[in-house]
Structures are given as C-alpha cells and as structure tokens.
Amino acid sequence: MAETPLAFEIVTFVVLALFFVVDLFIIGRRPHVPSTKECVQHIAFFVVMALIFGGCIWFFAGSKPAIEFYSGWLTEYSLSIDNLFVFVIIMSNFAVPKQLQKYVLSVGITIALIFRGLFILIGAALISRFTWVFFIFGAFLIVTAVKLITGGDDDEEYHENGLIRALRKVIKITDDYDGEKLRTTKNGVRYWTPMLIVFLTIGTTDVMFAFDSIPAIFGLTKDPFLVFTSNVFALLGLQQLYFLLGALLDKLVYLPVGLSVVLGFIGIKLIMEALHGNTLPFINGGEGVHWVPEVPTWLSLAVIVVAIGGAAIASVIKMKGQQSVEKA
C-alpha cells in the first residue's frame, strides 16, 4: 500500500483547519437559527468535500486507504448523528435559547475534536506496542452494540455527572443566560451563567463519545492520518445537522439497530485481528491464530453502508406508515 505524500497531508491539515475555523467560528458565531436551506447547503458541501478527499487518497495512495477512509468517515458520521440525541437532551435540559445553540455547538464540537485528537494519539501509541489492546477495544464495542439493542445505553433522560453536581455546590451560578457570557453581574454580585455548566456538560459527554468512536475507527484503519481526517470530516457540518435533524431524531427509530450492527461487526473484526497478531501466552501458546479469516476492507465498507442505510430507510418507512395511520 502506498503512503499518502507528506505534502498532501500538510495541505490536508491546512484546508481542514480553514474549514473548521470558517464552519465554527465565522459562520457558527452568528447567533441565529439556520434555515433548512442553509443546513442542507452546508451538509452537502462537507459531504462532497469528504467524497473528493477520499478520491484524492485513492489517487495518491491507492484504493485500500481510500476505502478505509470512507468506512471510517461513514462510521464516525453515523456515531455523530447518534450523539446528536444527547446534544438535544442537554440543550433542552439547560433551556439553552435557540439563538445561542449554534455557539454552544461550536464550542462543544471544538472540545470534541481536541478530545478525539488526544484519544487518537493514545490509541495509536497503544496499538503500535500492544496488539492485545484490540481484544479490549473489540470487547468494548461488542458490549456497546448489545447496549444499543437492549436499551442499556438509553439516553432519553439526561443525568448530571458528579463533576457538574459538585461544581454547583462550590460556585455561584445564576439561572439566567446573559448572551454568550460565562460571567454576569446581578445586584452587584458576580455569578457564573448556566453557559459554564453547558460547556462542561458537553465537554465531559464528548469524552464518553470518544470511547465509542476511537476504538471503532481503529477497527477499520491503523493509519493515524486517516483516523484523524475521518473524525474531522464527521464533525464538520455537525451544527447544521443538529438543526436539520433536531425535530427528526426521535423518528430515526432504527438508527440504534444500524449502529449496533456496525459496532458489533467492527468489534468482532478487531478481535479477529488481535488473534492474528496474538502475543498473549495463554492464547495459542502466544502464537498468532492464523486460521481465523481476515476481513477485507471492502466488506467493512459494505456492512457499514447496508447497516446504516438500511436503518435509515426502515425508519423513514415506519415514519411514513405512522403518518398514514394518523391521517386515516
């Protein structure tokens, strides 16, 4: 497999940085509720950019890394859509004004990128030294997949974590927002606004998101460049996706099933790869289990497309069926 040229990687990072700054801190700083047309245009632009980027990888490095990028991007994008359920709940729980939600999402997505970058560095360092980490990653993804099906990871109700509860006890927090400000003055007394709690809540929630997304992407590619770029492209346009799907998220009833299939598949794939490169003495005497078949890259992409696409189509069919019953 050919490696992507260093110049291509540098240009990619510069372009992605520009995309991120424009998406979050120029467009995203305007306090307004984006229209459906604006949302669709932004999402379409970044989807097309991701497709073109995958084509560039195919041209410079070959089909295998390109398919790995597409697989990783689709998986991360799907997980990001699922994570929007939690964002909706957090915004509702803290009564964030509609005109401020774009700003909150800008900060939250930036925090997500930072955390994912750190997790990618840690994950890459671990798997390069300890192949048995794949057993842990794989088992974690399978457990997560089972929880998605059984409802053990139900997010219908948001519960504050210990950090937020402790913070409320030690600092003064007002119940009212003051625009984008973190601090405000009431009757001559300085208070923190709820914006601080919202940022911390989204930030700590993003850490949990990283525990799902990073093992999943490493199950599809070991190249840190592809891991990082697939995550960035999945986060770009997430603001607009939030507003576009906000009213429809509860209609995507089969999305957890599709995600469960994807995560379960990747979890099994990781364990199979761990068996191939096994060094644990209590498994096959510390030797690789070579009779375990290897999962081709194209099959991973096919499973992801069929699972997520099938879940989306099934959700739409059910939604239309319910609408027909209501009209009857």
Residue 2 has pLDDT above 80, yes or no: no
- pLDDT of 258 reads 87
Determine the average pLDDT of the residues in 152-171: 64
Positive or negative torsion for Cα 62, 309, 134, 281: negative
Q: Is the pLDDT of residue 29 over 70?
A: no
Q: Does 92 have pLDDT greater than 90?
A: no
Specify the pTM: 0.77
Quickly state the pLDDT bin for 155 (edges 50, 70, 90).
very low
Q: Residue 243 in contact with residue 34, Cβ under 8 Å?
A: yes
Give the residue with greater pLDDT, 91 vs 86.
91
Please tell me which residue, 256 or 68, carries the higher pLDDT value: 68
* pLDDT band at residue 19 under the 50/70/90 scheme: confident
Angle between helix axes 194-218 and 63-93 (nearest 10 degrees) is: 150
pLDDT in tens, 238-247: 778 887 776 5
Q: Which helix (H) or strand (E) holds 189?
A: strand 189-192
**Mean pLDDT throughout 168-179?**
81
Please state the rounded mean pLDDT for residues 249-267.
82
C-alpha span between 73 and 267 (Å, rounded): 17
Answer yes or no: is pLDDT of 66 > 90.
Answer: yes
Of residues 25 and 304, the one with the higher pLDDT is 304
Tell me if residue 56 falls in helix, strand or coil. helix
* Averaged pLDDT for residues 160-166: 67
The region, left, alpha or beta by phi > 0 then psi within -120 to 50, assigned to residue 283 is: beta
Mean pLDDT in residue range 137-144: 85
> What is the average pLDDT across 203-211?
71
Report the SS3 class of residue 173: strand
Task: List the domain boundaries for the chain.
Answer: 6-322
**Residue carrying structure tokens 């390109």:** 66
Cα 90 to Cα 202: distance, rounded to the nearest angstrom: 8
Please say if the pLDDT value at position 7 is more than 80. yes
d(CA 119, CA 136): 15
Q: For the chain, percent helix, then strand, then coil, each to nearest 5?
A: 75, 5, 25
Q: Give the CA distances from residue 260 to residues 264, 268, 273, in Å, rounded to whole numbers and listed in that order.
A: 6, 12, 20
Tokens linked to 215:
């093992």
User: For residue 288, is pLDDT > 80?
Assistant: no
Rounded to an integer, the average pLDDT of 183-191 is: 85
How confident is the model at residue 127, as a pLDDT?
75
Could you tell me if 300 and 72 are in contact, meaning their C-beta atoms sit under 8 angstroms apart? no
Contact yes or no for 238/105 (Cβ under 8 A): yes
Average pLDDT along the chain:
81
Whether 220 shows a pLDDT value over 90: the answer reads no
Q: Cα–Cα distance between 105 and 313 in angstroms, integer?
A: 28
For residue 162, the model assigns a pLDDT of 66
Q: Is the pLDDT of residue 304 over 70?
A: yes
* pLDDT reported for residue 246: 64
User: Which DSSP letter does residue 186 get?
Assistant: E
